[in-house]
A and B are shown apart, each in its own frame.
Chain A
Amino acid sequence: MNNPAMTKEALLALSPDALDALERKIAGKYMHRVPWGAVAWALSNLMVWLSLWPLVLFDYLSIWVAFPIAVLNVALSYLPSHEAQHSIIAREGHPLRWLNELVGHLSVIPFAQPYRVLKNTHMEHHAHSNHPELDPDYAVHAKDDWAFLKNSILRRQPAGPAQKAYGDAMARIGKSHMLIDALLFNLVFIGVLFTMAWTGHAIEAALLWWLPRHIAQTYIQYYLSWAPHHPGVRQERYGQTRSFKSKVGNLLSMGMQYHIVHHLYPRIPLSSTPAAFHELKPILEIRGCDVGGWAETP
């Protein structure tokens, strides 16, 4: 903490309004930037994943080399769309709005999930984080890592509640008609799997899409939903998320160590959340936020 104006004593001496203003001023420094890295990430990730199919089918690349790449591609497909869901690339009315929507729709193709449904249910998650009935991601909560894994696998079984929460959320906000997107995505997904399987390419379909999607779903749920919201009991603005120090580092934990900044200021691009978090940390500690392993005092 180099800035003397940001010592705990100095911050505690500020009026609530002054503290709010300081927090917003710091957060504002990191907003209104077009995250070109996320745009490049979205499009290149999709291109790599799409290129795996002909490369494998025409024997230019072993399926065993392509499989881990496909897992990586599917796991990396969600976050650029997440930037678009929050209109971080370009808000409505901005000349680059088309790019925001293009990234939103295209990047999640490997994930086989529709942008409009993801966006609307995600907004409900932000509006009602950790609410047992209203947060569509609430069911992801579990007491520890292993309980999460077991829960994640069981939730997506045919009788599991994985998709019901999203359907219910869309109905609640009067956007059930957008579930047609989910239907179409699922039709294309199983259509590709079935066609590949019955033309002698079942293993390729399984290792380029079906299994990577399952692995990526678990990974994304763990780092984007479970870890930053655990234990998932607080619902107020400064308590609904936490920061944490990941054993696998910031890249492999998908930047979610600083998810608390995202919930407080969703328009800050993912790439800027580490810097924003470290600058905001003294204020967040005063607010009673759980800053996890980043806390200066025990």
Chain B
Amino acid sequence: MQIFNFVKVLFSPIVFGLGFIGPLSAEIITALEIALPIGTPLYWGLLIGGLLGLMAQVRGSWIWVKPS
């Protein structure tokens, strides 16, 4: 059961948001040379990835629209 819970967390949207979308967003910010008012690209990347992951976790969708 513990393994099942671990796997469930590992494949959760919030982990994917922080583990992949976060650093991906940071690299895109850097590549596009976007001027940031505060913080580093990774900080903003993790904020974007974390928020997207949270939305996907709560709503069950990465694109806001819920599957019927």
The interface of chain A, by Cβ under 8 A from chain B, is 153-155, 157-161, 183, 186-187, 190, 193-194, 197-198, 200, 202-203, 205-206, 210
Q: Which 6 A-B pairs have the closest CB atoms?
A: A159-B60, A202-B24, A197-B23, A160-B67, A154-B67, A157-B61
Asked if A190 meets B19 with Cβ closer than 8 Å, knowing A154-B68, A161-B67, A183-B7, the reply is yes
Which label, helix, strand, loop or mixed, suits the secondary structure of the A interface?
helix
Asked if B9 lies at the interface with its beta carbon under 8 angstroms from chain A, I say no
Cα of A133 to Cα of B13 in the assembled complex, Å? 28
State whether A203 touches B67 (Cβ < 8 A).
no
Across chains A and B, the number of contacting residue pairs, with CB separation under 8 Å, is 63
State whether B26 touches A157 (Cβ < 8 A).
no
State whether A197 touches B20 (Cβ < 8 A).
yes
State whether B67 touches A200 (Cβ < 8 A).
no
24 pairs from A and B in contact (CB 8 Å cutoff): A153-B63, A154-B61, A154-B65, A154-B67, A154-B68, A157-B56, A157-B61, A157-B63, A157-B66, A158-B12, A159-B59, A159-B66, A160-B61, A186-B11, A187-B10, A190-B19, A194-B20, A198-B19, A202-B20, A202-B24, A202-B26, A203-B24, A206-B24, A210-B20
Q: What sequence of 0s and 1s flags, for each residue 35-59 of chain B, a beta carbon within 8 Å of any chain A beta carbon?
A: 0000000000000000000001101
Nearest-Cβ distance from residue A209 to partner chain B, whole angstroms: 11
Please give, as numbers and ranges, the residues of chain A lying within 8 Å of B31 by CB-CB distance: 203
Nearest-Cβ distance from residue A223 to partner chain B, whole angstroms: 22
The interface size bin for chain B is 20 to 34
Asked if A202 meets B67 with Cβ closer than 8 Å, knowing A157-B62, A158-B56, A186-B11, the reply is no
Which label, helix, strand, loop or mixed, suits the secondary structure of the B interface?
helix
Q: Which of chain A's residues has its CB closest to B24's CB?
A: A202
Asked if A190 meets B61 with Cβ closer than 8 Å, knowing A160-B67, A202-B27, the reply is no
Nearest-Cβ distance from residue B64 to partner chain A, whole angstroms: 10
Cα of A210 to Cα of B16 in the assembled complex, Å? 12
Please give, as numbers and ranges, the residues of chain A lying within 8 Å of B56 by CB-CB distance: 157-158
Q: Which of chain A's residues has its CB closest to B28's CB?
A: A203
Cα of A285 to Cα of B31 in the assembled complex, Å? 57
Cα of A206 to Cα of B19 in the assembled complex, Å? 13
Please give, as numbers and ranges, the residues of chain B lying within 8 Å of A187 by CB-CB distance: 10
